[in-house]
Amino acid sequence: MLMTDIIAKKRDGGELSAEEVAFFIKGVTDGSIPDYQTAALLMAIVWRGMSRRETLDLTLAMMRSGETLDLSGISGVKADKHSTGGVGDKTSLALLPMVAAQGVRMAKMSGRGLGHTGGTLDKLESFPGFSSALSEEQFLAQVERVGFAIAGQTADLDPADKKLYALRDVTGTVQSIPLIVSSIMSKKLAAGADVIVLDVKTGSGAFMKTEADALELAREMAEVGRLAGKRTVACITDMDQPLGRAVGNALEVKEAIALLKGEFGGDLLELCLTLGACILTEAGAAADDAEARAKLERGIADGSALAKLAEFVAAQGGDARAVYDVSLLPDAPVKYEALSEASGYVRRIDAEGVGLVSMHLGGGRETADSAVDLAVGVTLNKKRGDAVAAGESLATIHARSEAAAEAAAVLLRRAYSIGPERPEDVPFVKAVVRAEG
Ligand code: URA
């Protein structure tokens, strides 16, 4: 088989066979196909697309490119959750303990943040001593004993995706539904859970800027998951403004803790209940959505979800006292109010803009090896639809220095659009997509 023939076939709109897809992925993984040929095929896929059968074959070939986790030794149904990423997205920190407190186990591999979106592993390191470097044995044992574990993705899991993603990032080939589906689903399938719940974000701070694109991505991921034998649900949710109020590592941990204490609601709680209800019903732990939500809410009210978070933090070497006393978490020395210059209603908050403010304060990574300041970030005091008067605080900036805070306040004000009329309310959860087959 020749790679040049495969590239030409896709360039001309042909459908690749399972053997051709497997040949490509094997060559990417063992380095026998040069990057220029891989990049050429990726660009042909961007333009010509892939049938669902090709996307499934690509996903399965990528999944098989490295090690896969076998969760079958752990009792019960095991679930996993994935978000396409957004600003202020601390959902996993609250959702996993909420679900585990209801007896459904969750095994999650997470990543670090890059650019304007944060990573769950960075956020968790706000707990002094916390480690995400678990061996496979430790990871499996903790999921069984505590109910959930969050570990860094090992180098051996889906090596084809690591190579392909690095190339896509520099060749303008990230934006392609089959390439995104295969990238996300191959990692989820390799991680071994029975139930996969996907949070597909749409809006200014998201990868998928339009609802139509988000819907297409959600449908394809749900179908590929089903064809691979997994119970898969994809929820489409709003990322047209940051999620919750906190953006920044330790600030987001504090917000997740406040949610688990029952002190914080809004869009973040709605998201946790929506995703959590999908997991409980798919896992058979609740008969329907209403029963699942009631269980999850009870777990917050009776403190069991918060206790589960503390158990998890301690199991991974972190100081669990910080769950009950957030003054033990990192805190920035400077708090600075970004005041509004206009009066009216908040019409828009550019999520990506707020993410970049946090990144410039030191809370995110500009390159893969930059260090992250866990304490800094932004707390939004006004969200879309809120009335604001000139001189009122739009957001509190948490910074290392007065100068950094002042510069951040200028950028933050630019992220807010304020107008005379209140914008219409938009639904936060736009759709819940299950496989049709
Ligand atoms: N996230 C991934 O893991 N892969 C993509 O291709 C896009 C988003």
Position 14 pLDDT exceeds 70: yes
What integer pLDDT is reported at residue 155 of this predicted model?
77
User: Among 90, 116, 187, 231, which one carries the catalytic annotation?
Assistant: 187
Tell me whether residue 399 is in a domain.
Answer: yes
Residues 202 and 217 in one domain: yes
What integer pLDDT is reported at residue 85 of this predicted model?
84
3-state secondary structure of 283: coil
User: pTM of this prediction?
Assistant: 0.94
Residue nearest to atom 6 of ligand 1 (CA): 180
- Strand bridging mode 334-339 / 231-238: unpaired
Q: What is the 286 CA–ligand 1 centroid distance (Å)? A: 31
180 CA closest ligand 1 atom index? 6
Residues 320 and 334 in one domain: no
Tell me whether residue 150 is in a domain.
Answer: yes
User: Among 176, 183, 186, 340, which one carries the catalytic annotation?
Assistant: 183
Average pLDDT, the chain: 95
Tell me whether residue 305 is in a domain.
Answer: yes
Residue nearest to atom 7 of ligand 1 (CA): 180
CATH number for the domain harbouring residue 189: 3.40.1030.10
- DSSP at 392: S
Calpha distance 30→48 (Å, rounded): 26
Calpha distance 125→121 (Å, rounded): 6
Q: Would the CB of 222 count as within 6 Å of ligand 1?
A: no
- pLDDT tens, residue by residue, 74-87: 999 999 999 998 89
What integer pLDDT is reported at residue 178 of this predicted model?
97
Task: Specify whether the CB–CB gap between 80 and 188 falls below 8 A.
Answer: yes
What integer pLDDT is reported at residue 369 of this predicted model?
74
Position 114 pLDDT exceeds 90: no
At 281, the pLDDT band (50, 70, 90 cuts) reads: very high
At 154, the pLDDT band (50, 70, 90 cuts) reads: confident
Q: Would the CB of 183 count as within 6 Å of ligand 1?
A: yes
Residues 127 and 273 in one domain: yes
CATH number for the domain harbouring residue 23: 1.20.970.10
Q: Is 194 noted as a catalytic residue in this protein?
A: no
Residues 6+ apart with CB under 8 A from 292: 276, 277, 280, 281, 285, 286
174 CA closest ligand 1 atom index? 6
Q: Is 187 noted as a catalytic residue in this protein?
A: yes
Residues 172 and 253 in one domain: yes
Q: Would the CB of 59 count as within 6 Å of ligand 1?
A: no
- pLDDT tens, residue by residue, 156-215: 999 999 999 999 988 999 889 999 999 999 999 999 999 999 999 999 878 888 999 999
Tell me whether residue 59 is in a domain.
Answer: no
Residues 100 and 175 in one domain: yes
What integer pLDDT is reported at residue 327 of this predicted model?
97
Whole-angstrom CA distances from 327 to 121, 246, 250, 251, 372 are: 20, 16, 11, 11, 20
Domain that holds residue 361: 330-419
Where does 321-392 show beta strands of DSSP type E? Answer: 334-339, 344-349, 377-380, 387-388
Residues 292 and 356 in one domain: no
Q: Is 82 noted as a catalytic residue in this protein?
A: yes
Residues 319 and 345 in one domain: no
| Gyration radius from the chain CA atoms | 22
Calpha distance 331→73 (Å, rounded): 41
Task: Specify whether the CB–CB gap between 322 and 128 falls below 8 A.
Answer: yes
The residue type of 216 is: E
Q: How many domains does the chain have?
A: 3
Residues 174 and 295 in one domain: yes
What integer pLDDT is reported at residue 370 of this predicted model?
76
Q: What is the 176 CA–ligand 1 centroid distance (Å)? A: 10
What integer pLDDT is reported at residue 115 of this predicted model?
63
Q: Give CA 176 to chain center in angstroms.
A: 18
Position 116 pLDDT exceeds 70: no
Residues 265 and 132 in one domain: yes
Residues 145 and 252 in one domain: yes
Question: Measuring CA to CA, which residue among 327, 431, 345 is closest to residue 390?
Answer: 345
Task: Specify whether the CB–CB gap between 239 and 205 falls below 8 A.
Answer: yes
Calpha distance 5→189 (Å, rounded): 29
- pLDDT tens, residue by residue, 250-260: 999 999 999 99
Backbone angles phi, psi at 198, to 5 degrees: -115, 135
What integer pLDDT is reported at residue 140 of this predicted model?
97
183 CA closest ligand 1 atom index? 4
Q: Would the CB of 55 count as within 6 Å of ligand 1?
A: no
- pLDDT tens, residue by residue, 228-243: 999 999 999 999 999 9
What integer pLDDT is reported at residue 110 of this predicted model?
87
Q: Which residues pair with 151 in a beta bridge?
A: 109
Residue nearest to atom 2 of ligand 1 (CA): 184
Task: Specify whether the CB–CB gap between 176 and 132 falls below 8 A.
Answer: no
Angle at 269 between CA 117 and CA 196, to 5 degrees: 70
Tell me whether residue 372 is in a domain.
Answer: yes
Backbone angles phi, psi at 236, to 5 degrees: -100, 120
Task: Specify whether the CB–CB gap between 95 and 348 falls below 8 A.
Answer: no
